[in-house]
Amino acid sequence: MNFDLTDDQRAIIDSARAFAQKELAPHAAEWDAASHFPVDVIRRAGELGFCSLYSPVEQGGMGLSRLDATLVFEELSAACTSTTAYITIHNMATWMATTFGSEAVKAEWGPALVTGEKLASYCLTEPNAGSDAASLKTRAVRDGDDYVLSGSKAFISGAGATDALVLMARTGGDGPKGITCFLVPADASGVGYGRNEEKMGWKTQPTRLVTLDNVRIPARYRIGAEGEGFRIAMKGLDGGRLNIATCSVGTAQAALERAAAYLNERRQFGKALAEFQALQFRLADMATELVAARQMVRLAAWKLDNGDPEATTYCAMAKRFATDAGFAVCNEALQLHGGYGYIREYPLERHVRDTRVHQILEGTNEIMRLIVARRLLADAEAASRIR
C-alpha cells in the first residue's frame, strides 16, 4: 500500500489551501455572526472548479476522483466549515444533474451549475421522512409533457438563495422503487420557502422548509428514469457521507493546530502549558484520532472510486468515525483553551457548533451503525470481506 499523495494531489491541496486562506478564513467569523451566505465567494470557488469537483468532464466538470475531492474539502473546511459544507452539497446536486440528468437538464442547467454561476440545493428530507427516506410523501404526477409536484421538504441547505432544487418525489407506489429525481427551478410558480432556521451552527448557509404547491415543471427536467430516484439518492449519499466526514477532519485539523499553538503560548504556574505531561497526552490522543479518521475517509473514498462492492459500508464507517472523532477533537481543543475557548474571539466554539451537526445529517451516526451491522450480518462471508 502507498499512502503518499501524488504531485498532482499536492498541487490540488496547495490550490485549495491558497483559496481558503484568502477567501474563507479571514471572513468566517464575520459570516457566522451575521448568518451571511457568501454567494459571491462560492461562485469564485466555482471558477477554480470547486463547485463541480467530481462532475463529468464532458459536462464541464473537473472529473476528479472522490479521493481528490476530499483533499479539496479538507482544506476549505479548515477555513470555514459551514460554507464548505454547502459547497459539498452543491457538488453532490450538480453531480446528480450532470451524470443522470436528461440531455435537456445537462444542456440547460449543467454549464451554470458546474461553474457555480447557478447554485443548487438537494431536497430529500421531509418533515416526517428523515432517516426513513424511502417513506417520503412529496408526489409528482405526470400531466402530458409536464410533471406536477406537491409536498414539502425540510432542513434544505441554501433554500431560498439557490437557483435549482435537485428533488426526490414519489411517482409510483410506496417504497424506494416509487421515487423519481427531478430538477425544479427554485423560482418556479408554487415553490415556497419557510423562515431561515435559527441553528446552533452552519450559520453561513440558510436552512429552510421548501413547499411545493402544484409546481409544474417540464418532463425533460426529470433526472434518470421514473423509479430510479432512490438509487440515485443512495449513490449520492455515499459521496455525501465522505464529504461531511471530510469537513469534520478539516475542521478538527484547524482546531488541533490552534490548540498546539495555544499550549506553547499560554503560561501557568511559571511554565508553558505545553510542558504539562497531562496536556501533552491529550494533544497526542487528539492527533492520533484525527489521523485515524483521515485515513478511514481516504480508504472509503478509494473504495468508492474503484467500485468496491463494500464501498457503501466503508463510507458509512468513515462517516460515523470521522464525524465523532472530529467533533471530539474540536471539543477537546476548546477545553484546552479554558475560558478563552468559550468566547468568540477564538474560533473553537464555532468549530464545535459547526461539527456537531455532522453526526446527524447525511444519515445519523446511529443509522451508520445499522448499515454496517446489517452488512456484517448479511451472510457468512460479509464480515470477512470488510477488513
Question: What is the C-alpha separation between 371 and 382, in angstroms, rounded?
Answer: 13
Q: Are 64 and 53 in contact (CB under 8 A)?
A: yes
Q: Are 83 and 41 in contact (CB under 8 A)?
A: yes
Q: What sign for the dihedral angle of Cα 228, 106, 83, 188?
A: negative
**Chain-centre distance of CA 70, in angstroms?**
10
Which residue stretches of the chain are H helix?
7-19, 28-34, 39-47, 66-79, 81-100, 103-108, 110-115, 229-265, 277-305, 311-336, 348-356, 365-376, 382-385
Question: What is the C-alpha separation between 67 and 244, in angstroms, rounded?
Answer: 13
Q: What are the residue numbers of the active site?
A: 362
Q: Are 54 and 63 in contact (CB under 8 A)?
A: yes
Gap between the terminal Cα atoms of the chain: 14
CB neighbour list of residue 217: distance below 8 Å, 6 or more residues apart: 146, 147, 149, 182, 183, 184, 185, 188
User: 36: burial class by Cβ within 10 Å (0-12, 13-18, 19+)?
Assistant: middle
Three-state secondary structure call for residue 39: helix
Q: Are 288 and 281 in contact (CB under 8 A)?
A: no
Question: What is the C-alpha separation between 141 and 123, in angstroms, rounded?
Answer: 18
Q: Are 137 and 174 in contact (CB under 8 A)?
A: no
Output the CA angle 340-346-347, nearest 5 degrees: 130
Length of the chain: 387
Backbone angles phi, psi at 177, to 5 degrees: -75, -10
**Hey, how many other C-beta atoms are within 10 angstroms of the C-beta on 359?**
19
